[in-house]
Amino acid sequence: MVILKYSLRVSVITLTHKEGRIINKFKTITMAVAKKEVVRTDFLEEKVVSVKYVPNEKNGIKDPKHVAHGGMLNGATIAIPAPTMDNGKMKNLLTNVEKEGLEHILKGVDLSIYGGFWKEGGGAYEMGILPIYLSKDELRLDMSDPYEFIKLKVLMASPIVANSLDEVRHRATNKFVLTSASEQMAKEIDKVGNKVQAYKLYVKYEEEKEILRYALRNLGRNTNRSHKLDFLQSELHKELEKNPSLLVSIMGDEYLKTKVLLETCYEFGAITKLDKKFYTLDDEPISDGDAPFLQVSAEYLASSLGQEMRLSLEAKLKHNLK
């Protein structure tokens, strides 16, 4: 209940006895009006959030048919309890609006961090809400259901559950990821866009053997000068299908050609490399004063200051490639 106070200035008319005059006086009156507070529940939405397993492709078993594919056995579960702080107290997962709205819907349920709902053996445990058991099978949570909304809040606080697809890449402890249909659709759109761009770059450079070799090396593939052009094309096409966004970042680099020039010149012995820094055969750094790492050296050769050195390197490379 909220009490609203209103101040009114009213006119009070009095009649004097002596002079028969009417005197108009003003008086301020404060009135209190009770207004019923509206409990918000609009955070409960008509949408579904999925909890999906994230296979460990680096350390786990890569064969999708294997019972332990991705580092977890089929049928195994991981229990996610309500999160606590170092002192053992419950973490506050709900905003004030969410707490009030949920308590309004779930009559008689105390969702404060001091209540028994979150504790093991408490209300949430008795009702089967906690702990949340996750497996390789996708778990779908209905965000219009108050109990499933609570489950989502618990999962969002877990150190092994990523809150988005983007977060998966930045935290090694992630075993599961929360994702919605809209996020997945956006990712698919990005993926399609990257694949289109990757194909364009592939077609642009498909006849340039040294660029194809450079791209494959940066994708973790070993190549050597004996590899034929058609082999390189075939291998890069496979990588394009697997990771188009990474290929775009490599082949869409504005300094791609100068980087390829540097790497190829080093391969032929036209320049030297020490601690990943590039130098001429006269030990002159290939830069304008900064440490000549690949990016710095490539930018220098692409600039007006580095044109003379670039032309010299291109001439040496042309002679070696004959």
pLDDT digits (tens, 9 = 90+) for 174-198: 889 888 765 555 555 566 667 888 8
Provide the 10 A C-beta neighbour count for residue 31: 9
From CA 45, how far away is CA 54, in angstroms rounded?
26
Structure confidence at residue 15 as a pLDDT band (50, 70, 90): very low
- The most confident of 49-63, 113-127, 135-149, by mean pLDDT: 135-149
Q: Which residue has the higher pLDDT, 180 or 239?
A: 239
Mean pLDDT of 32-52: 80
Mean pLDDT of 278-303: 92
From CA 170, how far away is CA 316, in angstroms rounded?
43
3-state helix/strand/coil string of 23-78: EEEEEEEEEEEEECCCCCCCCCCCCEEEEEECCCCCCCECCCCCCCECCCCCCCCE
Q: pLDDT at residue 171 above 80? A: no
Q: pLDDT at residue 310 above 90? A: yes
pLDDT digits (tens, 9 = 90+) for 96-128: 999 999 999 999 899 999 888 998 888 888 888
Please give the mean pLDDT across all residues of the chain.
83
From CA 260, how far away is CA 301, in angstroms rounded?
12
From CA 146, how far away is CA 39, in angstroms rounded?
14
Residue 261: burial class (beta carbons within 10 Å; 0-12, 13-18, 19+): buried
High-pLDDT (> 90) share of the chain, %: 48
Lowest mean pLDDT among 22-36, 123-137, 240-254, 280-294: 22-36
